[in-house]
Structure 1
């Protein structure tokens, strides 16, 4: 598979997290490249995206903590973007916390439900059970792989 196809696959996979395709391609670029830093222009040309789409995706990825930037010696005006490993681990933790918060909300929701729609109530209970297991296992995996 060539680089362009792999970047397209990153775009599709991150779309499942509601990221715009350009954001997925940017993350893919960092993962696939041995180069640690990219300027904005290098990102834009590497993923073949417009300035506007690249700018929006970079802002999103910075706000999610998955990428960051620094100013390198010799050029204090140009930002050099990099995959923020610590920020990416924190992103996993926030996803897990989001699952936990939703689980608590679903538990509270069940208190308001009657037996009128048992199918939906059972579905909500199944979601609670799934989320509890997911969050427990995901937390263990984050600990195992990133927080040794």
Structure 2
């Protein structure tokens, strides 16, 4: 933004919001991204619908909290979907066990918190769903891989 535009903004705009686009962090060019705005009360139902539509695909679903991870995994398992949770509140052996089941195709859906953002390289993931929107760009970039 040039100095002239900044001065004009200060003179004319009340409570401006600055939005920046940076090439420092970006997704890979081959990534297909889509988004939907779903009212909170319908998120669980729509997730079940999506997972049924994606049957046969490997899916990672990112949530913001450990509680949401556990809750979604329970809901999905009760509905007959083979979801498994992974979060920071689980012991390391349990996290590794869940990850191994996912990588070995014993479970097709991994419900996870940001504990799975970094350090994991799972090349066989077909779809990543951000059930909760990441709070910053770096987390989003790591989640979508």
Q: Shared fold (TM-score greater than 0.5)?
A: no
- Larger helix proportion of the pair: 1
TM-score (structure 2 length as normaliser): 0.28
TM-score between the two structures when normalised by the length of structure 1:
0.28
